[in-house]
């Protein structure tokens, strides 16, 4: 076992190469075909439009300037779980604020900073209706070994009209 650890260390591949206890790097929600959790957790196929990701609180049609409490819930979870979410559209996409200390927000994106199975956030709709929006969610159902192997990535998109 020590030999394997020495080989991995020498190769520059420590076990925690993509482990981010403070939350995954920003811009990994899969927005517009961009990077998602598979950028680091790549050995399992991604589950698209996953039914394991339950999102409550986004309206079918948003009201300009309204604040919507949103809950992200995993119907099945791994030992360690995290998510990223972002909103995009042709104009202003609104912004997120954290619901509690388990999440942090940066403009139109939000992410978990503590493992869990349920997270609550707030989405502030754009101040003026700017057209339909798409919500992008990427979830890592991690096995807890602090490596990029064996984790299951689930993604989902939700369309919100104005």
- End-to-end Cα distance, the chain: 57
pTM, rounded to two decimals: 0.83
Q: Kind and range of the H or E element at 98? A: strand 95-98
Q: How far apart are CA 39 and CA 21, in angstroms?
A: 16
Nearest to 81 by CA among 140, 148, 1: 140
Whole-angstrom Cα Rg for the chain: 17
Taking the CA of residue 150 as centre, how many other CA atoms within 13 Å lie in the half-sphere pointing to its CB? Answer: 11
Per mean pLDDT, which range of 10-14, 37-41, 79-83, 129-133 is the poorest? 10-14
- CATH number for region 17-160: 2.60.40.4060
Residue ranges of domains in the chain: 17-160
pLDDT in tens, 108-119: 999 999 999 999
Q: How far apart are CA 16 and CA 2, in angstroms?
A: 16
Nearest to 82 by CA among 60, 115, 125: 115
Higher-pLDDT residue of 38, 2? 38
Map tokens 């009209």 to a residue.
161
pLDDT in tens, 13-26: 333 334 566 778 99
């Amino acid at each position: 076992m020590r030999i394997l650890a020495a080989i991995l260390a020498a190769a520059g591949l420590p076990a925690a190469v993509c482990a981010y206890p403070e939350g995954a790097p920003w811009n990994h929600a899969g927005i517009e075909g961009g990077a998602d959790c598979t950028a680091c957790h790549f050995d399992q196929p991604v589950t698209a439009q996953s039914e394991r990701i339950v999102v409550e609180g986004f309206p079918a049609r948003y009201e300009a300037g309204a604040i919507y409490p949103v809950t992200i819930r995993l119907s099945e979870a791994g030992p360690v779980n995290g998510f990223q979410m972002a909103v995009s559209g042709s104009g202003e996409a609104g912004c997120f604020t954290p619901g509690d200390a388990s999440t942090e927000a940066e403009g139109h994106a939000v992410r978990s900073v503590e493992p869990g199975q349920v997270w609550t956030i707030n989405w502030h709709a754009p101040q003026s209706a700017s057209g339909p929006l798409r919500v992008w969610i990427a979830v890592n159902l991690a096995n807890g070994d602090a490596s990029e192997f064996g984790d299951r990535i689930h993604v989902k998109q939700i369309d919100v009209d104005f």
